[in-house]
Amino acid sequence: MKQNLTRRGFAQLAVGLAALGLPKFGFAQTSSYANPALLTEPGALIAAISPLAQSGLNPVDIGLALVDIREREAYDAGHIAGALHLDPNAVAAQHSPVEGALRPISEIETLLGDLGVEADSIVVFYDDRGGFHAARMLWLMEYLGHRNSSVLNGGWTAWLAANGPVSTEGGMTETTVFQAALSPRRHATAEDVLIHREARDGVLIDVRPTHMFDEGHIPWAVNIPWADNLAEDGRFKPADRLLAHFERHGVTSEHDVIMHCQQGLASSHSYVALRLLGFPRVRVYHRSWAEWGSDPDLPKVTS
């Protein structure tokens, strides 16, 4: 059960939680990104969770779910204090003919409920792959209708560099009920991609590495590899550099954007990048090339 804080304790937590700048608490945003709340900086998270240890609380006690999306061995060796583990492939169906396809929504709801995530929870995801797995979860949460999710900028590497507290103890939580309210404007199907081709302002982005794009791609796709969203330190590029990167490829906020990759992971990374920049119309074709490339009836270019 969530614990009640004293007035002084709540004030201490408010200082730390304000640093997160997440919309649930209504604090002003001070970043050059249009949607800065989609990223949590390591220093801000340290400031938010430090009062918890002093108060004898866990993140879940104040509605904060920290989710570590690394391999189990890495999590067990050390993780952010209070973080819960989620297998990198937990949301992918195990026996789907399309590799990487999502599990049924009801199963994902149960998975999130087991992590203690509720409608009003603040959720911070992190991994050790530049946000590769964390971004998929952020996109998924927005598709499921959850509004208070973010990615730890720079992930585990940035956390260690910031001297964030590390623990080997499992995070504590209570099972809750998570109920999705699907947002179709965040999700695209193969049929949507075909229809989208005729849109005057439509852009389809293939975020895979160029060598994979050259081996086979959707004819009208633009290749903008996801790894180029990151700066040299593994964090998202600042807003001006990120915007210039997409504009060099002819992609602006006026476009209706669908993006895909190989199995629905990397496309979510570029989804987060465009959402950070405030692009209003962004969807992920999450079944991606794994579906499209294997369907003989869908148009494609191959080497």
* Active site positions, annotated: 261
DSSP line for 129-175: STTHHHHHHHHHHHHTT---EEEETTHHHHHHHTT--EE-SPP----
Element (DSSP H or E) covering residue 56 = none
Determine contact, residues 67/83, Cβ cutoff 8 Å.
yes
Taking the CB of residue 105, how many other CB atoms lie within 10 A of it? Answer: 14
Determine contact, residues 91/137, Cβ cutoff 8 Å.
yes
Instruction: DSSP letter for 34, please.
Output: S
Helix, strand, coil shares, percent, the chain, to 5: 40, 15, 45
